[in-house]
Amino acid sequence: MDDKMVPGGYDRAAKPPKIKNKNPAPVQITAEQLLREVQERKEPIYKPPEQKLVDGDELYAYQMRKRKEYEDSIRRNRLNIGTWLRYAAWEESQNNLDRARSIFERALDVDSSNQTIYLKYVEMEMKHRNVNLARNLFDRVVTLLPRVNQFWFRYTYMEEVLGNILGARQVFERWMKWEPEESAWNAYVKFEKRYNEIDKAEAVYERFVYVHPDPKNWLKWAGLVESHGKIDKVREVFGMALDRLGTAHMNQHIFIAYAKFETKVKEVERARVIYKYGLENLPQSKSQALYNQYVLFEKQYGDQDDIEYIVSSKRRQQYQKKLKESPFDYNTWLDLTQLEESMGNIDLAREAYKDAVNAVPQVEEKRVWRRYIYLWLLYAAFEEISSKDIVSARNVYKDCLSKIPHKKFTFAKVWIQFAQFEIRQMNLKEARLLLGRGIGMCPKNRLFRGYIELELQLREFDRVRILYNKQLEFNPSICTTWIEFAKMESLLGETERSRSIYELAIEQDELDMPELLWKAYIDFEVSEGEFDKAREIYERLIQRSGHIKVWISYARFECFLSNEESESFETSSKDDKANIDKDTDRTKKARSIFERAYKHYKSLQQSDSRVLVLEAWKKFETEFGDDKSNSHVDSLMPNKVKRRRQTSDGGWEEYLDYVFPDDKDQMPNIKLLEMARQWKQKMSEMDESKEANEP
In a domain, 560, yes or no: no
In a domain, 233, yes or no: yes
CA distances from 616 to 410, 611, 619 (A): 49, 9, 5
* Phi, psi at 658, each rounded to 5°: -110, 140
> d(Cα 677, Cα 271) in Å, to the nearest integer?
81
> d(Cα 335, Cα 355) in Å, to the nearest integer?
13
Q: What percent of the chain has pLDDT over 90?
A: 0
Give pLDDT tens digits for 175-192: 888 888 888 888 888 888
> d(Cα 218, Cα 205) in Å, to the nearest integer?
8
The domain containing residue 222 runs over which residues?
213-302
Question: Looking at the predicted structure, is the pLDDT value of residue 141 above 50?
Answer: yes
The pLDDT assigned to 232 comes to: 83
Q: What is the mean pLDDT of residues 196-207?
A: 86
* Residues facing residue 424 across a β-bridge: none
Question: Looking at the predicted structure, is the pLDDT value of residue 8 above 80?
Answer: no
Banded model confidence at residue 575, pLDDT cuts 50, 70, 90: low
Question: Looking at the predicted structure, is the pLDDT value of residue 567 above 60?
Answer: no
Question: Looking at the predicted structure, is the pLDDT value of residue 34 above 50?
Answer: yes
Question: Looking at the predicted structure, is the pLDDT value of residue 13 above 60?
Answer: no
> d(Cα 494, Cα 461) in Å, to the nearest integer?
12
Residues 6+ away with beta carbon under 8 Å from 79:
110, 111
Higher pLDDT, 283 or 100: 100
Question: Looking at the predicted structure, is the pLDDT value of residue 14 above 60?
Answer: no
Give pLDDT tens digits for 542-555: 777 777 777 778 77
Count structural domains, the chain. Answer: 1
Q: What is the mean pLDDT of residues 80-99?
A: 87
First to last CA, the chain: 163
Question: Looking at the predicted structure, is the pLDDT value of residue 500 above 60?
Answer: yes
Give pLDDT tens digits for 395-413: 888 888 888 877 777 887 8
Higher pLDDT, 163 or 562: 163
Question: Looking at the predicted structure, is the pLDDT value of residue 225 above 80?
Answer: yes
> d(Cα 143, Cα 85) in Å, to the nearest integer?
22
> d(Cα 673, Cα 191) in Å, to the nearest integer?
90
The pLDDT assigned to 47 comes to: 67
In a domain, 84, yes or no: no
Question: Looking at the predicted structure, is the pLDDT value of residue 58 above 80?
Answer: yes
8 A C-beta contact, residue 156 and residue 168: yes
In a domain, 164, yes or no: no
> d(Cα 472, Cα 478) in Å, to the nearest integer?
8
Most confident of 168-172, 531-535, 630-634: 168-172
> d(Cα 618, Cα 599) in Å, to the nearest integer?
16
Give pLDDT tens digits for 438-464: 877 777 777 788 888 888 888 888 888
Higher pLDDT, 609 or 100: 100
Question: Looking at the predicted structure, is the pLDDT value of residue 422 above 50?
Answer: yes
Q: Read out DSSP for 529-585?
A: T-HHHHHHHHHHHHHHT--HHHHHHHHHHHHHS-TTT-S-GGGS-HHHHHHHHH-HH
The H or E element containing residue 388 is none
The pLDDT assigned to 16 comes to: 64
* Residues facing residue 558 across a β-bridge: none
8 A C-beta contact, residue 189 and residue 200: no
Give the mean pLDDT of the chain: 78
Question: Looking at the predicted structure, is the pLDDT value of residue 574 above 70?
Answer: no
> d(Cα 521, Cα 527) in Å, to the nearest integer?
10
Q: What is the mean pLDDT of residues 424-431?
A: 83
Q: What is the mean pLDDT of residues 621-638?
A: 74
> d(Cα 545, Cα 556) in Å, to the nearest integer?
18
The pLDDT assigned to 674 comes to: 57
Question: Looking at the predicted structure, is the pLDDT value of residue 608 above 80?
Answer: no
Banded model confidence at residue 308, pLDDT cuts 50, 70, 90: low
Q: Does residue 643 sit in helix, strand or coil?
A: strand
Banded model confidence at residue 666, pLDDT cuts 50, 70, 90: low
Banded model confidence at residue 273, pLDDT cuts 50, 70, 90: confident
Banded model confidence at residue 283, pLDDT cuts 50, 70, 90: confident
Overall pTM > 0.75: no
* Phi, psi at 661, each rounded to 5°: -65, -30
In a domain, 609, yes or no: no
Question: Looking at the predicted structure, is the pLDDT value of residue 242 above 60?
Answer: yes
In a domain, 633, yes or no: no
Higher pLDDT, 672 or 179: 179
The pLDDT assigned to 690 comes to: 62
The pLDDT assigned to 570 comes to: 39
Most confident of 139-153, 246-260, 491-505, 579-593: 139-153
> d(Cα 147, Cα 639) in Å, to the nearest integer?
64
Q: Which of 63-72, 83-92, 104-113, 596-605 has the lowest mean pLDDT?
A: 596-605
The pLDDT assigned to 17 comes to: 67
In a domain, 284, yes or no: yes
Question: Looking at the predicted structure, is the pLDDT value of residue 106 above 50?
Answer: yes
In a domain, 356, yes or no: no
